[in-house]
Chain A
C-alpha cells in the first residue's frame, strides 16, 4: 500500500506541474528546455569537488584505515552487545551510499534477512544520508569554500541517527527474540 503510493507520487508530481503550467498559459516546452540547459553546467561544475571527496574516501577505504577504526570501535560496542558487523555501516553511511548498501547486503546475507542484527542495520542504513557527499556537492555547485558549522551539524545529526537506530531497533525488535 505505502509503496504503491510512493510509486505514484513522482508521476503525479510531474503531471500536476505540467497541468499547472498549461492552466497558467506557460509555454511549457520552451521553459523546460530553458531550465534543462543548466543541467549540464551544474553537473560539470561539481566535478572538482566530487573528485576531491571520492578520491579521499576511496584511499581511506583501500588503506585499511576504515577496517582499523571499525575494529577499534567494535571493542567498545561489544560491551553493549552490538554486533561488530554493524560498525562499518556507522562509518560508511555518512560517506558513500553505494558502499553502505554493499556492506548491508553482505551483512543481511550472512546473518539472514530476519535476524536482529540485520534489522538494526536496516534501520541504520534506511535513516542514513551521505552527509559528506551532500555537503561537497551542494556547496561545490555554487563555489562555497568555507562550510562554517555545517560539517559539525551534519556529524551531530549522523551520530544522533546511529545512536537512535540502535536504541529504537532494540526497542522494536529485541522483544520478539525474547
Chain B
C-alpha cells in the first residue's frame, strides 16, 4: 500500500509538472479532501439506519439462523472465524445486499463484518485471511442487476437496455469465483512466506 500510494502521488506530480497542469493537480488535491469528508458525512445517516436494522436482526436471532445455515458452506473459506461469531451471518447478508445492488445496505453491513472479524484478530494492524477473503469477494462486484447502468441506457433511449443483464451476470459470477480462488491460492503462498520470515 505504501508503494502504491507513493507511486500514485509521485506520478501525478511529475505528470502535472510535464503537462503544465500543476495548478489543477493542487486544486484537485484540496477538492479531494473536501469530497472525502462529504462522502463520510453523507454516510452517517444511512450507516446509522442500517446498523440499527441489523441490530434488530441480530437480537431476534435472524443473523444467527442465517449463520448456522451458511456456516458449513463457507467454513473452508473463512477458516479463522469461530462458529459463534455473528460475522458469518453478516457476511452472507452483506454479499447478498451487494448482489441485489443495495449498495446503501451493503457498506454498513460490510463494515460491521470487519468489526466482528477484527475481534478475533490477534494482530490489530494486520489483515486476517478471513478479511482478505471477504474483501476479495466484495471487490469482485458480484451483482445480479446493474440497475444504474440500465437506467442510463434506458435514459438514452436504448431499444433493449436489459439485454446487458445476462452478460454482466456471467462476468460478475466468473470474477467472483476467480476472486475466491485467487484469495485461496494467495493465502497459502502468503502464509508460507510469512512463516519463513
- Footprint of B on A, CB under 8 Å? 2-3, 6, 9-10, 13-14, 16-18, 20-21, 23-24, 26, 28, 31-40, 42-44, 46-47, 50-65, 68, 94, 101, 104-105, 108-109, 112-114, 118-119, 122-123, 125-129, 131, 134-135, 137-139, 141-154, 156-158, 160-161, 164-165, 168-169, 171-173
Contact = CB atoms under 8 A, between A and B. Distances in A.
A113 B25 CA distance: 33
Contacts of B124: 142-144
B139 A131 contact: yes
Contacts of B49: 36, 39
A138 B125 contact: no
Given A43-B47, A50-B39, A157-B178, A150 B127 contact: yes
Nearest to B172: A127
B123 to A, nearest CB: 8
Contact of B164 (A61, A68, A126, A151): A126
B62 A141 contact: no
What are the 3 A-B residue pairs with the smallest beta carbon separation, nearest first?
Answer: A35-B55, A39-B48, A129-B141
A141 B149 contact: no
Interface residues of B, number: 107
A51 B60 contact: no
Interface in B125-139: 125-127, 131-132, 135-136, 138-139
19 contacts: A6-B147, A20-B56, A21-B60, A24-B60, A35-B51, A35-B54, A38-B48, A42-B111, A44-B40, A51-B32, A55-B36, A63-B19, A63-B24, A113-B159, A119-B163, A150-B135, A157-B140, A164-B171, A168-B170
Contacts, number: 348
B21 interface: yes
By DSSP majority rule, is chain A's interface helix, strand, loop, or mixed? helix
B122 interface: no
B81 interface: no
A148 B147 CA distance: 33
Contact of B15 (A31, A39, A63, A127): A63
Contacts of B13: 59, 63
Given A21-B59, A51-B37, A134 B138 contact: yes
